[in-house]
């Protein structure tokens, strides 16, 4: 059986609701039809037609067909990517600008696009915005490059519900090749996978500190540390190294490419540790019994809580029909990793990046640090601007401090989870500053002019991203290591 790397994990094509809306408006006015006329023709209220024309709702194929019939055009004409007029192109660009995270971060009011707003005024506004974007873009080779790459990667993952069918197929083929029929993956089977792929495992005490493993492609060796750290699964280290080989990864050309490869290797390693068929059968039974639990998935497959939480997000929407969100948050409140497909509003910066942003004090990801019982899982309902969510959180320790790992879902889905009967409930209005960022007026009045904190700056705040194809890896140290351990000629 030939194992092939997956197709591109990039964006999937989607219809542009703004362009379609403007085309519908242009066709309607050209035919001297009112909103009511079109609404009657498609069986919808005039207000709904207006929402569509303003690009605020995506249309399904059946709705597109009804609009096409009402306007006496083909569906292909409605889906044309070109704006119907030059004016429409300007209006679409302005609307898209105002919906962007950078514009939202400025705190400016939304500018209504009316006929009285001249083309020149719109062009001036767009020009100012492009200059602002240029200033932000020039901060490449700083941590902002990583934030932009993370933002695009998270959007791509959301569109596929964090489920990569092609990687599941690769995992299934590998497990079949070594005779693994289901259930937890032992360290012996992980070693068998290495042998099957032509690699011998070598446990060494002097692995370069900037690496988790080193693969010698010339001599078919994978070097891993003798003693795994407390937050590391030795099987994961081996499987991730094998995954890069199986997926035929080449040297990354930029940071986005590096992140994309890391997502693929982590996903494939998790799919081997928690095979899809066994996990789906396990989770389906738990859902039927209304006893879904990340802890049970962890225990059933002998993995870390974080690996189980990640794997749950891979399979939950695809196989259980439950949209979810995932958060890994440092004890300082900053986000280390995040994913959502359940419409929860994550904190973002001007570029739309989530990593490094501070989580609301009232979310379970923060509240769990105040709970004395660190052995039991913590459950909580949180009333948020997008609705009420149920979350389960746990704390794990690492050399970099303590982190909470949380999985959450919308209130309607909580009925399938153990811990749904929790009485813990909080309200959050973040990103409204008055929620938890603005101090109470009584404290502010007393201390605002009578205190001077000395901030502890993140060491990477002003630093450039590590250079090299593999960010942060000391290539000289790696090559010297390989030279020391290379087999000598017989």
What average pLDDT is seen over the chain? 84
For the full predicted model, state whether its pTM sits above 0.75: no
Q: Which residue has the higher pLDDT, 16 or 367?
A: 367
pLDDT category at 98 given cuts 50, 70, 90 is: confident
Residue 209, pLDDT > 70, answer yes
- What pLDDT does 139 receive? 46
For the ranges 325-329, 417-421, 483-487, which has the lowest average pLDDT? 483-487
Contact at 8 Å (CB) between 292 and 417? yes
- What pLDDT does 143 receive? 63
* Residue 93 φ then ψ, to 5°: -60, -40
Strands (DSSP E) contained in 134-213 are: 200-204
Give the whole-angstrom CA distance, residue 301 versus residue 279.
9
Q: Which of 45-49, 94-98, 291-295, 470-474 has the highest mean pLDDT?
A: 291-295
Calculate mean pLDDT across residues 364-389: 92
Residue 279, pLDDT > 90, answer yes
Residue 447, pLDDT > 50, answer yes
Q: Above pLDDT 70, what percent of the chain?
A: 89
For the ranges 200-214, 269-283, 379-393, which has the lowest average pLDDT? 200-214
Task: Report the phi/psi class of residue 353: left, alpha or beta, with left for phi > 0 and alpha for psi in -120 to 50.
Answer: beta
Calculate mean pLDDT across residues 350-378: 88
Q: Could you give the domains of the chain?
A: 17-137 (1.10.260.40)
- What pLDDT does 455 receive? 54
Please provide the DSSP assignment of 231-263 as one string: T--HHHHHHHHHHHHHTT----SSHHHHHHHHH
- What pLDDT does 486 receive? 85
**Which residues fall within 8 angstroms of residue 288, CB to CB, at 6 or more apart?**
none
Residue 280, pLDDT > 90, answer yes
Q: Which residue has the higher pLDDT, 134 or 467?
A: 134
**Which residues fall within 8 angstroms of residue 119, CB to CB, at 6 or more apart?**
86, 87, 90
- What pLDDT does 72 receive? 92
Up-side HSE of residue 365: CA atoms within 13 Å toward CB? 26
For the ranges 109-118, 139-148, 178-187, 473-482, which has the lowest average pLDDT? 139-148
Cis peptide bond upstream of 71, omega within 30: no
Give the whole-angstrom CA distance, residue 219 versus residue 487.
8
Alpha helices in 14-142 (DSSP H): 17-30, 35-42, 46-53, 61-71, 75-78, 86-99, 101-105, 119-137
pLDDT category at 232 given cuts 50, 70, 90 is: low
Give the whole-angstrom CA distance, residue 481 versus residue 484.
5
- What pLDDT does 227 receive? 66
Calculate mean pLDDT across residues 297-310: 94
Calculate mean pLDDT across residues 409-418: 96
- What pLDDT does 19 receive? 87
Exposed e or buried b per residue across 201-216, where buried means at least 16 C-beta atoms within 10 angstroms of its C-beta: beeeeebbeebbbbbb
């Amino acid at each position: 059986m030939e194992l092939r790397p997956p197709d591109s994990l990039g964006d999937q094509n989607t219809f542009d609701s703004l362009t379609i809306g403007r085309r519908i408006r242009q066709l309607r006015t050209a035919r001297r039809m009112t909103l009511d006329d079109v609404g009657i023709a498609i069986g919808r209220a005039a207000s709904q037609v207006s929402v569509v024309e303003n690009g605020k709702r995506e249309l399904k194929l059946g709705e597109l067909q009804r609009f096409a019939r009402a306007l006496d055009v083909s569906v292909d004409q409605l889906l044309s990517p070109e704006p119907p007029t030059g004016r429409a192109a300007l209006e679409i660009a302005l609307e898209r600008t105002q919906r962007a995270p950078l514009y939202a971060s400025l705190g400016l009011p939304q500018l209504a696009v009316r006929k009285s707003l001249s083309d020149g005024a719109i062009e001036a506004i767009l020009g100012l915005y492009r200059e602002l974007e240029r200033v932000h873009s020039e901060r490449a080779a700083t941590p902002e490059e990583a934030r932009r790459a993370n933002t695009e990667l998270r959007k791509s993952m959301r569109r596929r519900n964090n489920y990569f069918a092609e990687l599941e197929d690769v995992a299934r083929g590998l497990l079949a090749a070594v005779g693994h029929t289901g259930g937890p993956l032992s360290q012996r089977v992980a070693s068998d996978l290495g042998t099957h792929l032509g690699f011998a495992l070598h446990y060494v005490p002097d692995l370069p500190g900037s690496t988790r493993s080193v693969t010698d492609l010339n001599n078919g060796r994978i070097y891993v540390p003798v003693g795994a750290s407390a937050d590391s699964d030795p099987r994961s280290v081996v499987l991730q190294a094998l995954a890069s080989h199986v997926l035929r990864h080449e040297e990354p050309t930029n940071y986005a490419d590096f992140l994309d490869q890391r997502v693929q290797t982590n996903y494939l390693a998790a799919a081997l540790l928690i095979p899809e068929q066994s996990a789906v059968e396990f989770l389906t039974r738990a859902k039927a019994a209304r006893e879904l639990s990340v802890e049970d998935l962890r225990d059933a497959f002998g993995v870390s809580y974080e690996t189980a939480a990640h794997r749950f997000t891979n399979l939950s929407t695809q196989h259980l029909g439950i949209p979810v969100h995932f958060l890994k948050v440092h004890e300082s409140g900053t986000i280390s990793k995040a994913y959502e497909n359940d419409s929860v509003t994550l904190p973002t910066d001007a570029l739309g990046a989530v990593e490094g942003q501070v989580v609301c004090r009232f979310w379970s990801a923060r509240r769990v640090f105040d709970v004395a019982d660190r052995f039991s899982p913590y459950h909580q309902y949180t009333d948020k601007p997008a609705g009420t969510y149920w979350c389960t959180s746990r704390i794990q320790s690492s050399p970099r401090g303590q982190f909470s790992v949380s999985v959450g879902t919308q209130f309607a889905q909580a009925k399938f989870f153990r811990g749904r009967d929790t009485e813990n409930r909080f309200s959050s209005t973040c990103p409204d500053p008055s929620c938890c960022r603005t101090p109470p007026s009584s404290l502010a009045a007393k201390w605002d002019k009578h205190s001077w904190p000395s901030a502890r700056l993140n060491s990477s705040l002003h630093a450039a991203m590590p250079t090299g194809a593999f960010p942060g890896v000391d290539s000289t140290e790696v090559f010297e290591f390989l030279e020391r351990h290379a087999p000598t000629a017989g």
